[in-house]
Amino acid sequence: MTNYVVRGIDKTKSFRFFGANTTKLVDEATTKHQTSPVVSAALGRTLTGVAMMGQMNKNITDRVSILIKGDGPIGGIIVEANGFGDVKGYAYNPNVDIPLNEQGKLDVRNAIGNAVMTVSKDIGLREPYVGQIAMLSGEIAEDLTDYFAISEQTNSVVALGVLIDKDLSIKQSGGIIIQVLPDAQDEAITELESKLKTFTSLTNYLENNQCIEQIIEDLLGDVELMSKTDIRFKCDCSTERMERALISLGKQELTTIVEDDQEDLELVCHFCNEKYQFDKNDIGNILHTL
């Protein structure tokens, strides 16, 4: 089953929307990082949100990332995506176990703690565009709504849902972003608002195996699909990149590593847990190029 992001507008041209099915992508990420359930939920929601934001940029090579830094046990989450549909991400501490919240749900808010969310968009300029907000909710979807309102002056509805199975695999994962367009009709906004009153949580819909497109049509009526992009968990790390990381340590540090009686050097990519080994010969060769 492939994962995807759909993009489109409603018939009254009042809203644009993004919808994502991310079950496999989130399952792969949480398996690679061996996350506990509350981290799977937090990381999965962030991956789903950023996967959709990756389709909002003008150019396919543009990149968007979200950094969440909090004082809760997770510590932080970093997720990055591009227009091709490649999404990668990790949590600082993948293994957090805290009690369920008052509603009997995974307590993402307290796992993250008091936090700041930073959204960076690299659209090929010298400096990326950066927007930052304090996370008042901590449940991620509401915080993204705040981000769009404050940093992009766009009214949005954001819903993110990650359902975890008994064996800790991801049963369902998906998300919706609906944004009000400048020429939105008042009646269309009123109608959506009234429908949202009975919209409980996206997780409930996913639990009933409703597909994302259907949930969007339930909210917006007839829609026009403009694109459907396959998405996947994919990291762009490589031996060359890791060599560049080694070079950034500097000549002195690398010389110390070669001269010290240490074992081989192992670098691990945070985003995907891929391991890269460098023995003293490799490091010596890198030193020669400096």
Question: Taking CB under 5 A as the rule, does residue 41 contact Zn ion?
Answer: no
CB of 68 to Zn ion, least distance (A): 19
CB of 158 to Zn ion, least distance (A): 27
Nearer to Zn ion, 26 or 111 (CB): 26
Structure token digits, residue 208: 């009933």
CB of 254 to Zn ion, least distance (A): 22
> 221-280: which residues touch Zn ion (CB under 5 A)?
235, 237, 269, 271-272, 274
Nearer to Zn ion, 115 or 272 (CB): 272
Taking CA atoms, 213 is separated from 75, 88, 274, 285, in Å, by: 34, 24, 34, 53
Buried b (16+ CB within 10 A) or exposed e, 75-100: bbbbbbbbbebbbbbbbbebebeeee
CB of 269 to Zn ion, least distance (A): 3
Nearer to Zn ion, 270 or 280 (CB): 270
> Rounded CA gap, 20 and 11, in Å?
20
CB of 272 to Zn ion, least distance (A): 3
> Rounded CA gap, 205 and 211, in Å?
8
Nearer to Zn ion, 27 or 143 (CB): 27
CB of 64 to Zn ion, least distance (A): 18
Do you know the residue count of the chain?
Answer: 290
27 burial via Cβ count (<10 Å: 0-12, 13-18, 19+): buried
* Residues forming a β-bridge with 122: 63
DSSP state of 20: E
Nearer to Zn ion, 96 or 272 (CB): 272
Cβ atoms 68, 75 nearer than 8 A: no
Cβ atoms 236, 86 nearer than 8 A: yes
Nearer to Zn ion, 135 or 272 (CB): 272
How many residues line the site for Zn ion (CB under 5 A)?
A: 6
User: By the criterion CB under 5 A, which residues form the site for Zn ion?
Assistant: 235, 237, 269, 271-272, 274
